[in-house]
């Protein structure tokens, strides 16, 4: 019998969420899936509630904080940055996240972490767009609508590939790029007008 780690339990739980639902997450079920005794589970976690709290921390750190850390610096072009954002979004455990959202309706700890993650993703996306000169209003609108589109797709689609995410966000990207080009033209046209006026 192989020795398992805390992360093994977390990944097993995410697999259960992806393939079944949150009601199937239990110490007995996870130990069965990992082929270990319940003693192994309680060696790592005091209780199922303790495990759920640790699972949510793992999900936040692995699928939000660690992904953001991979972003590095900004791309030269906004269009390239949007493609990178979609690539990152494609790496999320979409079916598991849909199950977590259902779980959050009956578990306040899950809801708390879910709210933290949503705000972290939204504010980070807004911050990235602001650094390209997108207005706060447009950046916030894009972040909220694109996140809502992804969350909605998580609920109804069996698989969210990078190509599918590009299809879903295609119209939003066109809207954002049009706003971006207009803002660039406005900034570059301003000095020319003032010189002619002088």
pLDDT at residue 94 tops 90? yes
Residue 95 belongs to a domain: yes
Query: For residues 21 and 17, what is the distance between their CA atoms, to the nearest angstrom?
Result: 5
Residue 12 belongs to a domain: no
Residue 50 belongs to a domain: no
Q: Model confidence at 36, in pLDDT bands (50, 70, 90)?
A: very high
pLDDT for res 72:
66
Residue 41 belongs to a domain: no
Model confidence pLDDT, tens digit, residues 151-192 = 999 999 988 899 999 999 999 999 999 988 888 887 777 554
Q: Model confidence at 196, in pLDDT bands (50, 70, 90)?
A: very low
CATH code where residue 156 lies? 1.10.357
Residue 195 belongs to a domain: no
Domains: count for the chain: 1
Residue 94 belongs to a domain: yes
Model confidence pLDDT, tens digit, residues 110-151 = 999 999 999 999 999 999 999 998 999 999 999 999 999 999
- What sign results for the dihedral spanned by CA atoms 137, 142, 145, 148? negative
**Domain range enclosing 112:** 57-187
pLDDT at residue 59 tops 60? yes
Residue 31 belongs to a domain: no
Residue 28 belongs to a domain: no
């Amino acid at each position: 019998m192989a020795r398992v780690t805390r992360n093994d339990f977390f990944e097993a739980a995410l697999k259960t969420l992806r393939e079944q639902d949150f009601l199937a997450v239990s110490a007995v079920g996870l130990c069965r899936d990992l082929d270990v005794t319940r003693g192994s589970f309680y060696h790592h976690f005091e209780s199922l509630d303790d495990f759920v709290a640790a699972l949510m921390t793992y999900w936040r750190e692995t699928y939000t904080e660690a992904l953001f850390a991979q972003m590095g610096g900004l791309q030269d072009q906004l269009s390239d940055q949007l493609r990178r954002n979609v690539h990152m979004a494609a790496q999320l455990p979409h079916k598991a996240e849909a199950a977590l959202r259902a779980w959050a309706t009956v578990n306040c700890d899950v809801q708390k972490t879910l709210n933290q993650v949503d705000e972290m993703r939204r504010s980070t996306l807004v911050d990235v767009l602001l650094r390209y000169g997108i207005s706060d209003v447009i950046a916030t609108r894009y972040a909220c609508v694109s996140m809502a589109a992804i969350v909605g797709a998580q609920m109804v689609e069996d698989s969210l590939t990078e190509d599918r995410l590009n299809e879903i966000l295609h119209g939003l990207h066109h809207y954002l790029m049009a706003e971006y080009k207009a803002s660039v033209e406005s900034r570059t046209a301003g000095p020319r007008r003032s010189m002619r006026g002088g």
